[in-house]
Amino acid sequence: MQNETVDLGAFWMPFTANKAFKQAPRQFGSAEGMHYYTPEGRPVLDGTAGLWCVNAGHGRTTIVDAIAHQAATLDYAPTFQLGHPKVFELATRLADLFPGDINKVFFAGSGSEAVDTALKIALAYHRANGQPERTRFIGRQRGYHGVGFGGISVGGLENNRRGFTLLPGVDHLSHTHSLEHSAFTRGQPEWGAHLADELEELIALRGAETIAAVIVEPLAGSTGVLVPPVGYLKRLREISERHGVLLIFDEVITAFGRLGAATAAELFDVTPDMIVCAKALTNGAVPMGAVGVRDFVHDTIVNASEGGIEFFHGYTYSGHPLAAAAGLATLDIYADEGLFERAAGLAPLWQEQVHGLGNLPHVVDIRNLGLVAGIEMSARPGAPGARGTEVFHTCFDQGVLVRVTGDTIALSPPLTVSPDQIAQMLDCLSEAIHQTN
Ligand code: PXG
């Protein structure tokens, strides 16, 4: 269908400049493999895996078939006091994928719901463990944890917080981004592990007995690709564990191969108490979020109950049959095609090529890990974000989809990307950066 035949008025678009979009709409009509296609049929190379979701590439037949078969067999079934086989199977598969004794899985409908679920599990755990006064949370500046009230409270993005009611009792660690110390670092910066010691300071300030959990993205994605300094996450783990504070990794972006391992937890050899995931869990094909939980957290909550419902929480779509079917088919693809290993194998070439953009005008930093890169440009004086938006538009018009936050371009292609497609993506981006003033 052509753009002009569709009325764009009614749809209030999320995180979008609605008026600007509707004057110059950009739409996709279909997708296959590494490409989107506009409604007119123009291919656009996907440099972002949708919105960090489509790690196995678009239109995967086995996922499509699994969803279709599931819809025809059991379209919907509740998981409150009932169940269906695929949701149990998917939970088991995820427990196998998560490190250590993260053996329990709570399902949600999105990353935001999964984040809020994890925060509530933390509160429920401490209550069941006889420490109900542990109610405070610690997040991090520039953290993104979705848009629920819990997520924006522990999150550290001003625009997402300002003007909204927030949870009380939340502190924030400093973010780890430093142009001064770490610009153009390949992979993990050496500088910055000491910032984890702020957790120790906050715990001393507030008292460990008041703190429920600390939540961080192992690699902060949507805030512009902030790679954790060497040793930083291990130090967070050591401090949180010593004080009985639960550590939550928000792996909505990093889980399922983005960094060249099943999870960032595995890559960095740090086992948190909970892992939040979503997005690539179903290759983006059906909405689903999940929280992986260590045995002791789950068991403390469930065993504290004298019967009846142990945890008063859940969603109509927790473990939706279509999402469960899509998730199982997706995990099969990741395993059968070795996509996490493929990402790890491509990472050195990726690193080499993205850092080739380092001499372009305006570029003040390039960051990378696994198959993620952030290319940060300086802001045009008086117009922050203008360069980023221009580069995004030029790339789109030239047939490459990139992601922009402020003046930072983020790249996170499907893990099926070929070396030629990496070159095409970066050539286009380089040209677009050259063109912007
Ligand atoms: N946590 C993290 C780390 C995320 O990246 C969420 C939670 C929330 O997930 P849902 O499914 O509720 O959106 C996210 C979402 C971007 C971008 O431009 C990133 C996200 C969402 C929208 C845009 O990078 N991540």
pLDDT digit string (tens) for 369-390? Answer: 999 999 999 999 999 999 999 9
CA 204 / ligand 1 centre spacing (Å): 31
- The Cβ of residue 130 has, within 10 Å, a number of other Cβ atoms equal to 9
Answer for the pair 273, 237: CB distance below 8 angstroms, yes or no.
no
Task: For residue 353, give every residue at least 6 positions away whose Cβ sits within 8 Å of its Cβ, in sequence order, or none.
Answer: 422, 423, 426
User: Which of helix, strand or coil describes residue 278?
Assistant: coil
CA 107 / ligand 1 centre spacing (Å): 17
The pLDDT value given to residue 425: 98
Cα 182 to Cα 306: distance, rounded to the nearest angstrom: 53
List, as one string, the DSSP characters of 177-219.
--HHHHTT-SSS-STTGGGGHHHHHHHHHH-GGGEEEEEE-SS
- Condensed to tens digits (0 to 9), the pLDDT of residues 239-269 reads 999 999 999 999 999 999 999 999 999 999 9
The pLDDT value given to residue 319: 98
Nearest protein Cα to ligand 1, atom 10: 111
Using CA atoms of 409, 410, 416, 422 in order, give the dihedral in degrees to the nearest 10: 30
Q: Is the pLDDT of residue 3 over 90?
A: no
For residue 287, give the ligand 1 atom closest to its CA. Answer: 11
Q: What angle is formed at CA 284 by the lines to CA 25 and CA 346, rounded to 5 degrees?
A: 100
Confidence of residue 1 (pLDDT cuts 50, 70, 90): very low
Answer for the pair 137, 242: CB distance below 8 angstroms, yes or no.
no
Largest CA distance in the chain: 67
Confidence of residue 296 (pLDDT cuts 50, 70, 90): very high
Confidence of residue 6 (pLDDT cuts 50, 70, 90): confident
CA 165 / ligand 1 centre spacing (Å): 20
User: Which of helix, strand or coil describes residue 58?
Assistant: strand
Cα 261 to Cα 370: distance, rounded to the nearest angstrom: 9
Q: State the pTM of this model.
A: 0.98
- The Cβ of residue 83 has, within 10 Å, a number of other Cβ atoms equal to 12
Half-sphere exposure of 386 (CA within 13 A, CB side): 9
Q: Pick from 409, 431, 430: which is nearest to 357 by CA?
A: 430
Cα 338 to Cα 390: distance, rounded to the nearest angstrom: 36
What are the pocket residues of ligand 1 if the criterion is a CB atom closer than 6 Å to any ligand atom?
A: 51-52, 110-112, 115, 144-146, 217, 221-222, 250, 252-253, 278, 403, 405
Range in 1-15, 120-134, 144-158 with the lowest mean pLDDT: 1-15
Q: Per the structure block, which two tokens stand in for 300?
A: 């403390």
CA 339 / ligand 1 centre spacing (Å): 22
Identity of residue 52: W
- Domains of the chain (ranges, CATH numbers): 3-56+338-435 (3.90.1150.10), 64-336 (3.40.640.10)
Cα 113 to Cα 291: distance, rounded to the nearest angstrom: 10
Identity of residue 45: L
The pLDDT value given to residue 4: 56
Distances (CA, A) of 67 to 70, 72, 86: 5, 9, 12
Exposure string for 192-212, b = 16+ CB within 10 A, e = fewer: bbebbebbbebbeeeebeebb
Nearest protein Cα to ligand 1, atom 19: 222
